[in-house]
């Protein structure tokens, strides 16, 4: 055992063992105003995960719902934000 080699390689987790990384909202800032966001319901402390496309899409706003807790995030389109100013 004088020449024994110890394997010091780190163990690597299989992809199935790792928790999937949360997907964040990637809004088109040319269409949606990031400052107009309104959130409601769901778990405020959740590490939110979203589908790439909005859950609801209207002419003046879009809503993304967290796939984990259901929290709703609503963004207005720029034209709606600008027309609501005096």
Task: Kindly report, residue by residue over 6-23, the tens digit of the pLDDT.
Answer: 656 665 656 566 667 789
DSSP H helices, 1-86, are 78-83
Task: Kindly report, residue by residue over 65-79, the tens digit of the pLDDT.
Answer: 999 999 999 999 998
> Is residue 52 scored above 60 in pLDDT?
yes
pTM, two decimals, is 0.69
Q: Is 38 exposed, middle or buried (0-12, 13-18, 19+ CB in 10 A)?
A: exposed
The residue count for the chain? 86
Structure confidence at residue 84 (pLDDT): 59
């Amino acid at each position: 055992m004088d020449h024994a080699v110890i394997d010091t390689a780190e163990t690597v987790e299989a992809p199935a063992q790792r928790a999937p990384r949360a997907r964040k909202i990637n809004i088109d800032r040319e269409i949606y105003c990031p400052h107009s966001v309104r959130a409601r319901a769901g778990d405020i402390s959740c590490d939110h995960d979203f589908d790439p496309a909005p859950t609801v899409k209207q002419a003046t706003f879009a809503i993304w719902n967290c796939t984990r807790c259901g929290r709703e995030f609503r963004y207005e389109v720029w034209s709606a934000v600008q027309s609501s100013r005096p």
